[in-house]
Chains A and B, each alone.
Chain A
Amino acid sequence: MTLAFPFPAIVGQEEMKQALLIACVEPRVGGVLIFGDRGTAKSTAVRALAGLLPPIETFETCPYNTAPGEPAINGDEKARGAQVSKPTPVVDLPLGVTEDRVVGALDIEKALRRGEKAFEPGLLARANRGFLYIDEVNLLEDHIVDLLLDVAATGENVVERDGLSVRHPARFVLVGSGNPEEGELRPQLLDRFGLSVEVTTPRDIEQRIEVVRRRDSFERDPEAFCEKWAEAGAEVRSQIAAAKARVAGLDAPEPVLRKASEICLALGADGLRGELTLIRAARAMAALDTTDEIEIKHLRAVAPSVLRHRLRRDPLDEAGSTARIERGLEEAFAG
């Protein structure tokens, strides 16, 4: 296992880091989409996530990461072994992956050798209760995208193929990253991401130098670099763990709910999904912030990420969606 660049050592890119932290605390916000220029630490940030997440309780040999209390998938309670805690899975979905590998398929070894129909779980099983990361999500084959959407929406993977009939839970946070220059994302997929952030290359020269400096010292001696950042990493980790424990108990007071509706209306964001996500993200933000209830400032902090990709497309507006949303939010929060 090669070392990942430590999360707190990423310079700038605050919105991206915030969005990822929110997804860690409240998986129900429904995924994070990171779009931006080349060389802006998109993949680096996602790969750093693994080091921040608290472990999950599951069974030793369960390929589906079932939780204690959940029945075993094939009904064989003994086969999944003893209860253990494992690191939260962060599973890479490589481009060019076959449908078989994503949903799982007939175990060809058992079929050939024993003439037995057995199911070999795929990446969706491995990602259950964790993160599923797709780099260059805009280049993913359409039929894989459709499949992911379906599973992400239902939280369950249903396999009916090769004479097999299997269903298993597949609840995961979808994290996608990509470079818009390589191609746009289909609107159906866009909408499924709870948060969307745009990353741009830092303009401040000192910040750029700091990025180069840190990345360089990481590449030269990853171990020493990670060691140096271990403490900061532990802090983030405990912040996430504490927030996770607190998040469910946080209430959204009336004025906050009202404001959320107002913002969505003012910006013309379609559907209730935006409003719901706005509240959930703000709740996670408040949990990270260790306040007692959700405040307006939390809404303000998460609104750009939540609403950016939900704005109606306006081919005549030359400004990018980030500029538009900032403009809209200025107005909404001024009143």
Chain B
Amino acid sequence: MSADTDTVADSGESWAQARLAAALLAVDPGLRGVVLTARAGPARDAWLEYYKSLSDEDAVWRRIPAAVNDEALLGGIDLAATLKTGRAVQRAGLLDEIKNGVGVLAMAERAETGLAARLAAALDAEPSPVLIALDEAAEPDEGAPAALRERLAFHIDLSGVTLRDLETAEEGVTREDVAMARVRLTHILNNGAERALTQTAAVLGVDSLRPPLLALRVARAAAALEGLDEVSDAEAALAARLVLGPRATRMPTMEEPEDQSEAEPDTPPEPEEPDEAQDQAPETPDAEDDTDPDADDAETPDELTEITTEAARAAIPAGLLARLEAGLGGSKSGGAGKAGAVRKDALRGRPAGSRRGDPGGGKRLDVLATLRAAAPWGKVRRRGMKRFTGGPALEVRREDFRVKRFKQKAETVTIFVVDASGSLAMSRLAEAKGAVELMLADSYVRRDQVALIAFRGRGAETLLPPTRSLTRAKRSLAGLPGGGGTPLAAAIAAAEVLAHSAGRQGRSVSLIFLTDGAANVTLEGVGGREVAMAEARDAARRLRGAGHAAIVVDVSKRGAEAAQGVARDMAARYVRLPAANTGALVDIARKAAA
């Protein structure tokens, strides 16, 4: 029973903190907003309701769908009004409308980098909107885009909050409290909190300087809400817990601030003595922060830093340690770096301008571009239809039609073609297998597929058809034999077939050949260096025609001319990799696909 009450108390505490964050955001909208991790449900609704009850009554609230297009986001020409008045009438975009208001980004975990960048730019502007990013991520690897997580002060997780918490929560802050705090806010003194919070951020491995800045604002807003004139320990601790803890990328050790603060600044900032007579503010959750500070911190340079770090430690996400141990790092890169080739002519995705063509078959008419195309002809065409008085102001003909184009990120397939001939075979194959497995390990997130063709003896064999399944790959790669001649032409041909079929499924293909290029088995499967080489070069040229991205990784000890020649014929990039190195190979493959 006691365990039961414990969890209830815990989730009640996190609900109280979430509400406190809402109040602080209402006091200082310069905190930019919150990433709210929760499924749709009563807790999320209750939080939004609570925040709404505290924020400005006349603030504009707008919902931003994750798939919003630029037209809606940034505004554009209002067609109806333009035609009616004959003047170009601009329509405000969502970002304009929420300039002093609140944007609620639905399904933030699905927001693309492009959308995130536009929102980030709006958040950097002055005045900035308040953004509430609703994150419904189910997997730990997903999450709101890093560019937004960085700028929004609070990262709140409501998933543990129970119905009972919602019902039993105490009366919170009122709009009057918020109004009074706002008046106070401009005069609150930092009282050395900026130093402590910056140091704590460094200790937690938070690299960017925005978080400590946001934490400082949180501390001031909290002090204002408490009716204080300066930031006290309790508010600094609260800020560290709310803002810095959830961003930690490593577990704090107390050594670092000691080391680093030895370098005294030119102008030593006189840190005012933290008020000893500081009463624990009754409302702040600091009261439950009774984790014992480490006993071995005998000499800490800054008491406040210790307090803030300890407070932040309590808020470090539970999974961080596990993630660090798994070598994943604590930072979410938010789908960084890698981008599949862009498919033009898609029917959905990001808008990419428009082109002449008839609508229909899923293509959408771009009304504005169509009008624009028709506009210059207005006079000429009107002349031709003079007998209709009061005809249309603008005559649109079929040749004016413009349809919208979209682009969409395509899945990629990386095909490894591995030379399993001769003495190099075993180490090379092991390396390629390692690379395949490494790439597959995160391919689910990246939507990549990997395939492997090995060639030796008389021909080439597709050992692993394009797949995303790690288990499957492991199974079919186990026990692969090596040795024999080098049927390079057959391998290239096999790669072409595989690439072709993948390309037809709308995937973009990158090919990676691991070979020394020394072909000595012909397509017919008989020995003969000269014929084999000529055939290989022919095959390479054919492959070039297919236009896939390709890389030839030269695995010979000294660099082989033959491999260079094949690379040239294929229009492939040529890379030397004389020593087995799985990591470098994965790197090459990623760059090829990017």
User: Could you say which of B113, B375, B382, B581 contacts A108, with CB atoms under 8 Å apart?
Assistant: B375
Q: Does A117 belong to the interface (CB within 8 Å)?
A: yes
In the bound complex, what is the Cα–Cα distance between A216 and B214 (angstroms)? 9
- CB closest chain-A residue, reference B86: A113
Main secondary structure of the interface of B (DSSP, over half): helix
In the bound complex, what is the Cα–Cα distance between A111 and B334 (angstroms)? 44
What 1/0 flags go to B260-297 for Cβ under 8 Å of A?
A: 11011100010000000000000000000000000000
Q: Is the CB of B584 within 8 A of A108?
A: no
Q: Which residues of A contact B70 (CB under 8 A)?
A: 96
User: Could you say which of A105, A183, A216 contacts B372, with CB atoms under 8 Å apart?
Assistant: A105
Q: Is the CB of A316 within 8 A of B212?
A: no
Q: Does A141 belong to the interface (CB within 8 Å)?
A: yes
Assess A106 versus B117: contact at CB under 8 Å? Given A38-B146, A205-B263, A206-B263.
Answer: no
In the bound complex, what is the Cα–Cα distance between A180 and B339 (angstroms)? 13
Q: Is the CB of A315 within 8 A of B575?
A: yes
- Pick out which of these stretches binds chain B: A207-215, A233-241, A243-251, A267-275: A207-215
Q: Which residues of A contact B211 (CB under 8 A)?
A: 39
Q: Does A266 belong to the interface (CB within 8 Å)?
A: no
Q: Does A334 belong to the interface (CB within 8 Å)?
A: no
Assess A115 versus B74: contact at CB under 8 Å? Given A43-B124, A205-B199, A212-B216.
Answer: no
- CB closest chain-B residue, reference A211: B209
Assess A108 versus B190: contact at CB under 8 Å? Given A139-B117, A205-B260.
Answer: no
Q: Does B251 belong to the interface (CB within 8 Å)?
A: no
In the bound complex, what is the Cα–Cα distance between A212 and B393 (angstroms)? 58
Q: Does A188 belong to the interface (CB within 8 Å)?
A: no
User: Could you say which of B88, B190, B333 contacts A216, with CB atoms under 8 Å apart?
Assistant: B190
Q: Does A198 belong to the interface (CB within 8 Å)?
A: no
Q: Which residues of B contact A258 (CB under 8 A)?
A: none
Q: Which residues of B contact A210 (CB under 8 A)?
A: 265
Q: Does A319 belong to the interface (CB within 8 Å)?
A: no
Q: Which residues of chain B (324-341) have a CB below 8 Å from chain A? A: 333-334, 336-337, 339
In the bound complex, what is the Cα–Cα distance between A183 and B146 (angstroms)? 13
Assess A112 versus B82: contact at CB under 8 Å? Given A105-B372, A106-B376, A219-B30.
Answer: yes
User: Could you say which of B77, B263, B352 contacts A204, with CB atoms under 8 Å apart?
Assistant: B263
Q: Which residues of B contact A143 (CB under 8 A)?
A: 352-353
Q: Is the CB of A205 within 8 A of B261?
A: yes
Q: Does A182 belong to the interface (CB within 8 Å)?
A: yes
Q: Which residues of chain B (441-497) have a CB below 8 Å from chain A? A: none
- CB closest chain-B residue, reference A107: B88
Q: Is the CB of B373 within 8 A of A209?
A: no
Q: Which residues of A contact B113 (CB under 8 A)?
A: 139, 182-183
In the bound complex, what is the Cα–Cα distance between A108 and B376 (angstroms)? 9
- CB closest chain-B residue, reference A181: B336
What 1/0 flags go to A107-143 for Cβ under 8 Å of B?
A: 0110111010100000000000000000110010111
Q: Is the CB of A108 within 8 A of B208?
A: no
Q: Does A99 belong to the interface (CB within 8 Å)?
A: yes
- CB closest chain-B residue, reference A180: B337
In the bound complex, what is the Cα–Cα distance between A213 and B271 (angstroms)? 13
Q: Does B169 belong to the interface (CB within 8 Å)?
A: no
In the bound complex, what is the Cα–Cα distance between A180 and B336 (angstroms)? 9
Shortest distance between the CB of B19 and any CB in chain A (Å): 25
Q: Does B379 belong to the interface (CB within 8 Å)?
A: yes
In the bound complex, what is the Cα–Cα distance between A106 and B336 (angstroms)? 38
Q: Does B114 belong to the interface (CB within 8 Å)?
A: yes
In the bound complex, what is the Cα–Cα distance between A94 and B353 (angstroms)? 16
User: Could you say which of B73, B202, B339, B376 contacts A208, with CB atoms under 8 Å apart?
Assistant: B202
Shortest distance between the CB of A331 and any CB in chain B (Å): 22
Shortest distance between the CB of A137 and any CB in chain B (Å): 10
Q: Which residues of A contact B264 (CB under 8 A)?
A: 206
User: Could you say which of B82, B86, B372, B575 contacts A106, with CB atoms under 8 Å apart?
Assistant: B372
What 1/0 flags go to A38-51 for Cβ under 8 Å of B?
A: 11100100000000
Q: Which residues of B contact A183 (CB under 8 A)?
A: 113, 336-337, 339, 594
Q: Does B121 belong to the interface (CB within 8 Å)?
A: yes
Q: Is the CB of B88 within 8 A of A109?
A: yes
Q: Is the CB of A212 within 8 A of B198?
A: yes
Give the total of B residues in contact with A, Cβ under 8 Å.
Answer: 73
- CB closest chain-B residue, reference A135: B121
Q: Does A146 belong to the interface (CB within 8 Å)?
A: no
Q: Does B97 belong to the interface (CB within 8 Å)?
A: no
Assess A117 versus B208: contact at CB under 8 Å? Given A39-B150, A43-B124, A220-B186.
Answer: no
Q: Is the CB of A112 within 8 A of B121?
A: no
Q: Does A323 belong to the interface (CB within 8 Å)?
A: no
In the bound complex, what is the Cα–Cα distance between A184 and B431 (angstroms)? 27
User: Could you say which of A37, A109, A111, A220 contacts B208, with CB atoms under 8 Å apart?
Assistant: A37
Q: Is the CB of B146 within 8 A of A39?
A: no
Shortest distance between the CB of B407 and any CB in chain A (Å): 9
Q: Which residues of B contact A37 (CB under 8 A)?
A: 207-208
Shortest distance between the CB of A111 and any CB in chain B (Å): 4
Shortest distance between the CB of B267 and any CB in chain A (Å): 9
Shortest distance between the CB of B542 and any CB in chain A (Å): 26
Q: Does B371 belong to the interface (CB within 8 Å)?
A: yes
Shortest distance between the CB of B66 and any CB in chain A (Å): 15
Q: Is the CB of B114 within 8 A of A95?
A: yes
User: Could you say which of A94, A98, A111 contacts B378, with CB atoms under 8 Å apart?
Assistant: A111
- CB closest chain-A residue, reference B378: A115
Q: Is the CB of A182 within 8 A of B372?
A: no
In the bound complex, what is the Cα–Cα distance between A322 and B186 (angstroms)? 42
- CB closest chain-A residue, reference B264: A206
Q: Does A85 belong to the interface (CB within 8 Å)?
A: no
In the bound complex, what is the Cα–Cα distance between A202 and B198 (angstroms)? 12
Shortest distance between the CB of A212 and any CB in chain B (Å): 5
Q: Does A163 belong to the interface (CB within 8 Å)?
A: yes
In the bound complex, what is the Cα–Cα distance between A196 and B252 (angstroms)? 35
Q: Is the CB of B587 within 8 A of A315?
A: yes
Q: Is the CB of B352 within 8 A of A141?
A: yes
Q: Is the CB of B584 within 8 A of A315?
A: yes
Q: Does A162 belong to the interface (CB within 8 Å)?
A: yes
In the bound complex, what is the Cα–Cα distance between A101 and B244 (angstroms)? 41
Q: Which residues of A contact B39 (CB under 8 A)?
A: none
Q: Which residues of chain B (39-88) have a CB below 8 Å from chain A? A: 70, 73-74, 77, 82-83, 86-88
Shortest distance between the CB of B161 and any CB in chain A (Å): 30
Q: Is the CB of B339 within 8 A of A316?
A: no
Assess A184 versus B337: contact at CB under 8 Å? Given A95-B121, A106-B376, A108-B371.
Answer: yes
Q: Does A201 belong to the interface (CB within 8 Å)?
A: yes
Q: Does B394 belong to the interface (CB within 8 Å)?
A: yes
Q: Is the CB of B147 within 8 A of A208?
A: no
Q: Does B559 belong to the interface (CB within 8 Å)?
A: no
Q: Which residues of chain A (171-219) have a CB below 8 Å from chain B? A: 179-184, 201-202, 204-206, 208-213, 215-216, 219
Q: Is the CB of B124 within 8 A of A96?
A: no
In the bound complex, what is the Cα–Cα distance between A210 and B337 (angstroms)? 32
Shortest distance between the CB of B82 and any CB in chain A (Å): 7
Assess A39 versus B202: contact at CB under 8 Å? Given A113-B87, A181-B333.
Answer: no
Most A CB contacts (10 A, CB to CB) among B70, B125, B197 go to B70
Q: Which residues of chain B (213-241) have a CB below 8 Å from chain A? A: 213, 216-217
- CB closest chain-A residue, reference B199: A205
Shortest distance between the CB of A113 and any CB in chain B (Å): 4
Q: Does B126 belong to the interface (CB within 8 Å)?
A: yes
Q: Which residues of B contact A106 (CB under 8 A)?
A: 372, 375-376
Q: Does B576 belong to the interface (CB within 8 Å)?
A: yes
Q: Is the CB of A112 within 8 A of B375?
A: yes
Shortest distance between the CB of B296 and any CB in chain A (Å): 21
Shortest distance between the CB of B6 and any CB in chain A (Å): 37
- CB closest chain-B residue, reference A39: B208
Q: Does B195 belong to the interface (CB within 8 Å)?
A: yes
Q: Does B560 belong to the interface (CB within 8 Å)?
A: no
Across the A-B interface, give the 9 residue pairs with the lowest CB-CB distance, nearest first: A39-B208, A111-B375, A205-B260, A109-B88, A115-B378, A115-B379, A96-B70, A206-B265, A181-B336
A-B contact pairs, 16 of them (CB 8 A): A38-B207, A95-B121, A98-B353, A105-B372, A108-B82, A112-B83, A112-B393, A182-B117, A201-B207, A209-B194, A209-B265, A212-B194, A212-B213, A215-B213, A219-B217, A315-B588
